[in-house]
Structure 1
Amino acid sequence: MIRTLIALVAFISMAITGAAAADRPIPRIEGRQLIVDGAPWLLLGGELANSSASSRAYMAPRWERLAGLHLNTVLVPVSWELIEPEEGRFDFALVDGLLEDARAQHLRVVLLWFGSWKNSMSSYVPDWVKRDTARFPRARLTDGRAIEMLSPFAPANADADARAFAALMAHLAISDTARTVLMIQVENEIGMIPEPRDRSPLARAAWAKPVPAGLPGAGKSWAEAYGNGADEAFMANAYARYTERVAAAGKRAYPLPMYVNAALPRPNAAPGSGYPAAGPLPKLAAIWRKGAPSIDFIAPDIYFPNFVEWTHAYAALGAPWFIPEANRAGAAEAPANALYAIGALGAFGYSPFSIDDLAPGGDAGLADCYAMLAGLAPLILERQGGDRLAGVRAPVAFDGTTDLADQVLTMGATHLTARLIDPWVPRAQQHPETHGAIVIQLAADDFVIAGRGVTFTFAPVAGKGATGILAIDEGRYDNGRWHPGRRLNGDQSHQGRHLRLPPNRFSVQRVRLYRYD
């Protein structure tokens, strides 16, 4: 009965919103971009702390502050327990209120579905699920103990989650004609802990079956096919298939883009005991793609210093992507990370965590960085996925060691060498992990370079002659339109020797080059 009602609501909702959809198309993924209102969208985001969105009153004074940080999108949790307090009875008043408050500040929203799992645990499932362990079985450890984690091998668990998620999506299809909601994160940091494999009776029965068709090693046992990684591969397949049941039910009601996020491992960490095993990590991407085709992409939650390493691993998967959690919002390196992910690796968005907990003035320059990126957005989006957009920042290893070697960008006929230490400020007073820049090629010898703490010199790719600076103008972009300020052909450019982005503030500079022998 509930399934039939959800399907009927979804059908009616699509009919009701058909006219509105013609004016405001449903957000979608196209290539490596997020398309909003029919055009590419650069997602400048921030994720709320986990409990903030459970109270509209708590959030009320915070929306204006979020808009003041120059965000255009807020990542907002929606927990299963609050929308379905009794089985089959749904209450979306809180969701509607939060979306109304976001719209009042001209903010868009990505909803985070805290359904069966949040950081591996089943802490946000409704009371009636938690109490009925016979109908909704838990994962178990090797010694037989149950843990507070729904087993992904139980059809009843997936069915209940899918029904609730479909009801939420059907409601959004009716109520969110403004298209405030851009995407949905399905579950949160799925993974098995403190052991790498569920040992419940249903899981043991699944383990005894061969690897299913379509996966490497199909027909073999999991141990034969995957060796030491068998436990994690087995669980990744189970989690992906469970997530697919939830996501597919939601997409049938309202086909917004959907993704899953991963908690990342430290170096040499053991699956399960060292990190949540079997989440959507790059090494498991093929299993996740096969098991959950309704998921548009997988995304990392990066809380470790080796940001560059992890972003390269996800960008290499070739799918659209963004970073839903990039450490805490006040982290000093957050602006440099945003510039690098968007400029160097084609991320369509960036979002640090706990954005609503920022103290006044504690954003470490993120607001200024977002304001700068918002002005540059039309130029960035036009060049995403091509060789006319680049970015630099110093790679930092997991142990905090920073690689300050010069980086060379090749754009057209020009080598751009980026020095990540400022030449005019004593080294001891600098924090190179906060330095970063985005480079946009406008024409053959015309570049926009924006950021802080990076100095650029220019040379011809052919190696013959020299590349000189005709002019450097400081200024700003407003919705892609250039507003020039000072001409920087004197001390600021060392009399035409380089382009310098000061380390203490964000700067947007436009440089025009020429060739001479």
Structure 2
Amino acid sequence: MTELSKLVRTSTGWKWLVDGKPFIAYGGELHNSSASNLNYMEEKVWPYVKDLNLNTLLVPIYWEKLEPDEGNFDFSLLEGIISQARDNNMKLILLWFGLWKNGISSYTPKWVKTDTTRFWRAKDMYGKSMDVISPLCEEAINADKKTFEKFVTKVKEIDENNQTVIGIQVQNEIGLLGSDRDYSETAESIYQKEIPDDLAKLYNVSGNYDEAFGSNAPEYFMAYAYAQAVNQIAEAGKKIYKIPYFVNSWIEKYPWRPGVHPSGGPVAKFIPLWQKIAPEIDAVLPDIYVSDFNGVANEFAMYNNPLLIPEHRRDVQNISNVFYAIGKYQALCFAPFGIEDFLKDPESLTGIASPAVMKTLAIDTSAWEFTNTSEYLKKSYEILQGAQTLIEKCREENKVYSFMRMNEHERGSIIETEEYDIKIAYHPTTKTAPKSSGIILQTAKNEFYIIGTSFSYSFLSKKNRSYQVGILDYEEGNFIDGKWVGERTLNGDERYFMRIDMPQIQRVELYQYG
């Protein structure tokens, strides 16, 4: 039997083992509705993603489609998507759109939506019912859990020996929108009681929620409720099929008050809470549409949390974040959102990219642009997948160096190695090209592989050293089946001004003289 997908902690960081080998998901996430019809997938998705050098597609699975009538299950969509992925040689991360998606309960079946007694809603501070089923509603959690068990059982049944499905995201961007907490009768009763022991021990506090957490109490209350609910669902799935299970976060884009962003969602500050209260969740993942990639990645890589990025902005300027994600943060997944758009005519697209929708989601419209993105993303994925074995080897030897232009004021940086300093000069960021970003791999005292886009570089002697630095060999190339295949040898004018524009790998061999 094929070894199951799993995340493992090593001395140098996290690894994702798929088919028993280290794996990084160079992926893309589909639009929310694309996977609701197999013909649409065949005509509007697969032809537009298979040429982007993806190895993984992130695809929604919908409760309303899986169980249209209570107790009656339709697995045709799930089976079809897995079959299509195999035909296209693609791994899948399945996104369970169950009780909660983006802070509301829009993907629940009709029989759940209409039974507001059994599946009761959260209420705001004015007592108004909200468009979200409360995470304190045990009937709803149990109903979702039963369906999730059927879903996971079917995945195991049809895919355990193939391992097309390598991970499952449980719900999507959960949290309460429109209120800082649930004010329903049940919620109010729990809120006024002594906080649970595991929460008290985690934060070394006591009393009821107000006494323990002060003005932040509503958000802690909701975070605990959602973490408990999601853990029950994930635990049920993991007992059946033990592959990685994730939650993703609608991050705090600026210091909002809870309720304006999904209150209680798995934002970075609540990672310790999720690790304690929801131990069946293997990682908390950020959806990154802001420009401060480094700040968000750093937050979510803390607390021994593996970094996977299931949704990333689409603009060409920031697509080079993939190099910094892999080099600096050892990211195990990088996936721009709406990936099926990238090779389509922008004039043919409608809906989600409208300014009104972007405003509601607090996303800068520039994050949604994808002009020129496909060519840079495709080449970046090709390069990084080819070099993965070497990256892993250099990481074990602590010989991976990364850089990225953080803002428009930065001109460059110095990478310090034992024998040399490497001067990086950032190219100006334009509307049609990405910002400077890259990875340097040192494979020997005098040998380096330079990977990335939009920068120039040179090698310097160490300070207070008398030797000069010369170049023995300088070439373009690629890794094919893990082996370096040199292409154009660079000399003359190219050697005087070493640079990378389009994503590329260059190999440099140095010597010392003087």
Q: 1:392 to 1:150 in 2, by over 3 A?
A: same
Amino acid at match of 1:185: Q
* Structure 2 partner of 1:388: 399
Q: 1:480 to 1:463 in 2, by over 3 A?
A: farther
Equivalent residues of 2:414, 2:424 under 8 A apart = yes
Residue number among 500, 507, 510 corresponding to 1:510 in the alignment: 507
Report the secondary structure of 1:434's partner residue.
coil
Amino acid at match of 1:203: A
Is 1:103 the counterpart of 2:86? The answer is yes
Is 1:34 the counterpart of 2:16? The answer is yes
Q: 1:403 to 1:246 in 2, by over 3 A?
A: farther
Q: 1:383 to 1:127 in 2, by over 3 A?
A: farther
Q: 1:414 to 1:313 in 2, by over 3 A?
A: farther
* Structure 1 partner of 2:343: 359
The separation in 2 between residues aligned to 1:268 and 1:257, in whole angstroms, is 31
Report the secondary structure of 1:323's partner residue.
strand
TM-score norm. by structure 2 comes to: 0.89
Equivalent residues of 2:48, 2:342 under 8 A apart = no
* Structure 1 partner of 2:386: 375
Is 1:248 the counterpart of 2:235? The answer is yes
- State the shift of 1:357 in Å: 1.9
Q: 1:119 to 1:463 in 2, by over 3 A?
A: farther
Equivalent residues of 1:41, 1:381 under 8 A apart = no
* Structure 2 partner of 1:490: 492
* Structure 2 partner of 1:499: 498
* Structure 1 partner of 2:166: 182
- State the shift of 1:384 in Å: 4.5
- State the shift of 1:462 in Å: 6.2
Residue number among 420, 423, 426 corresponding to 1:414 in the alignment: 420
Q: Which deviations, in whole Å up to 9, do the C-alpha atoms of 1:416-437 show, x marking residues without a partner?
A: 232212xxxxx58687753221
Report the secondary structure of 1:338's partner residue.
helix
Q: How does 1:202-217 map to 2 (within 5 A)?
A: 202-214=186-198, 215-217=202-204
* Structure 1 partner of 2:263: 277
- State the shift of 1:301 in Å: 0.3
Equivalent residues of 2:28, 2:339 under 8 A apart = yes
The separation in 2 between residues aligned to 1:463 and 1:314, in whole angstroms, is 39
The separation in 1 between residues aligned to 2:418 and 2:4, in whole angstroms, is 37
* Structure 1 partner of 2:221: 234
The separation in 1 between residues aligned to 2:168 and 2:451, in whole angstroms, is 31
* Structure 2 partner of 1:220: 207
Amino acid at match of 2:30: L
Q: How does 1:77-226 map to 2 (within 5 A)?
A: 77-176=60-159, 177-214=161-198, 215-226=202-213
The separation in 2 between residues aligned to 1:345 and 1:51, in whole angstroms, is 31
The separation in 1 between residues aligned to 2:491 and 2:148, in whole angstroms, is 58
Equivalent residues of 1:346, 1:385 under 8 A apart = no
Report the secondary structure of 1:333's partner residue.
helix
- State the shift of 1:193 in Å: 1.1
The separation in 1 between residues aligned to 2:307 and 2:397, in whole angstroms, is 16
Equivalent residues of 2:429, 2:436 under 8 A apart = no
The separation in 1 between residues aligned to 2:256 and 2:378, in whole angstroms, is 35
* Structure 1 partner of 2:356: none
The separation in 1 between residues aligned to 2:244 and 2:430, in whole angstroms, is 44
Tell me how many residue pairs correspond in the alignment: 477
* Structure 2 partner of 1:317: 303
Amino acid at match of 2:508: V
Q: 1:430 to 1:202 in 2, by over 3 A?
A: closer
* Structure 1 partner of 2:327: 343
Report the secondary structure of 2:50's partner residue.
helix
Q: 1:235 to 1:467 in 2, by over 3 A?
A: farther
Equivalent residues of 1:210, 1:218 under 8 A apart = no
Q: 1:180 to 1:459 in 2, by over 3 A?
A: same
Q: Which runs of 5+ in 2 are unaligned?
A: 345-371
Out of 203-212 and 347-356, give the one that drifted further: 203-212
Equivalent residues of 1:335, 1:369 under 8 A apart = no
- State the shift of 1:468 in Å: 3.4
Q: Which deviations, in whole Å up to 9, do the C-alpha atoms of 1:317-359 show, x marking residues without a partner?
A: 322221000013xx11343111110111110120000011223
Report the secondary structure of 1:457's partner residue.
strand
Equivalent residues of 2:251, 2:268 under 8 A apart = no
CA RMSD of aligned residues (A): 1.9
Q: 1:112 to 1:500 in 2, by over 3 A?
A: same
Equivalent residues of 2:316, 2:433 under 8 A apart = no
* Structure 1 partner of 2:360: none
Equivalent residues of 1:116, 1:124 under 8 A apart = yes
The separation in 1 between residues aligned to 2:410 and 2:342, in whole angstroms, is 30
The separation in 2 between residues aligned to 1:212 and 1:227, in whole angstroms, is 16
Amino acid at match of 1:183: G
Amino acid at match of 1:409: I
Residue number among 254, 272, 291 corresponding to 1:267 in the alignment: 254
* Structure 2 partner of 1:7: none
Equivalent residues of 2:441, 2:450 under 8 A apart = yes
The separation in 2 between residues aligned to 1:345 and 1:178, in whole angstroms, is 29
The separation in 1 between residues aligned to 2:112 and 2:310, in whole angstroms, is 28
The separation in 2 between residues aligned to 1:463 and 1:221, in whole angstroms, is 62
Equivalent residues of 1:191, 1:277 under 8 A apart = yes
The separation in 2 between residues aligned to 1:85 and 1:386, in whole angstroms, is 53
Equivalent residues of 2:313, 2:319 under 8 A apart = no
Equivalent residues of 2:252, 2:267 under 8 A apart = no
Out of 374-383 and 95-104, give the one that drifted further: 374-383
- State the shift of 1:385 in Å: 6.6
The separation in 2 between residues aligned to 1:150 and 1:461, in whole angstroms, is 62
Amino acid at match of 2:405: A
Equivalent residues of 1:393, 1:433 under 8 A apart = no
The separation in 1 between residues aligned to 2:279 and 2:439, in whole angstroms, is 33
The separation in 1 between residues aligned to 2:108 and 2:396, in whole angstroms, is 39
